[in-house]
Copies of this chain bind each other. A is one copy, B any other.
Amino acid sequence: MTRQSTTAEAAPSEQRKPTRREQILAAAAELFAHRGFHGVGIDDIGSAVGISGPGLYRHFRSKDAMLGEMLVAISEKLLAGGRRRVELAGGPEEALTELVRWHVDFALDNQALITVHERDLANLAEDDRRRVRALQRQYVEVWVDVIREVVPATDEPTARAAAHAVFGLLNSTPHSKHLDRDAMAVLLHRMAMAALTGPGALSGLTPTD
C-alpha cells in the first residue's frame, strides 16, 4: 500500500503546483457539488482527471475517503481563517467585518466545496462526520461570540440561528452567477452586515430590559 495520510499533512500554503491528490479532490468536489456524492461514479472522477476508474485507488483508500478528506480540509480551513481574522481584529465591530469578508471570499473561491459541505455531510463515514460536525460547531461558536459582542442583548440561540442564516445568505453564491466576483463580494458583504447589525434586525428581538 502506498503512503496515505488520513488528513492533509503538508500545510497547504501558497503557490505550489497542486498535488495529484489535490487535483483529484478538486475534480471530485466539482462533480459531487453538481450531482451529489452517490450520483457520481468512480469512473466519472477518474476521467475528469484524465485517468480511468480504479486508478484513483493509487491515491485514495476509498471513495468515502475522498469525501472525508475534502470536507475535513475545508472545515479546518474555514475555522482557522475565521479565528485568525478575529484575533487580528482591533475590536468586535472590526472582527465582525473581517469575519464576513473572510467568509465571502471563501465562499466565492470555493463554491463547489461549499456546496458539498452543506449537502453531503450525511454521506460521510461516522468518524469523519463527527470530526466535521465538531469543526462546524466551533466555527459557529466564533461567529456567535462576535455577534453577541457587537449586538448585546442577543441570546445565544438567536445568535446561533442568525449565524446560520448569514451562512445561508453568503453561501448562496453558487446559485447566482449574474454578477462578477467583485460586485458579488460587495453585495454579499453589505447584505450580511445589514442583516446582522441593521436596526430592527437582531437588536430588539429579545424581551430583555
Which residues does A use to contact B, with CB under 8 Å? 34-39, 118-120, 122-123, 157-158, 160-162, 164-172, 175-176, 178-179, 183-184, 186-188, 190-196, 198-202, 205
Contacts and interface: CB of A to CB of B under 8 A. Distances in A.
Contacts of A190: 200-202, 205
B201 A194 contact: yes
7 contacts: A38-B38, A118-B175, A119-B119, A165-B169, A165-B187, A190-B201, A194-B194
B194 A179 contact: no
Given A158-B183, A191-B195, A191-B201, A164 B175 contact: yes
A6 to B, nearest CB: 24
A174 to B, nearest CB: 9
Contacts of A178: 157, 160-161
A184 B161 contact: yes
Contacts of A34: 122
Given A36-B123, A39-B123, A194-B195, A187 B175 contact: no
A71 B114 CA distance: 23
A144 B174 CA distance: 18
B176 A172 contact: no
A8 to B, nearest CB: 25
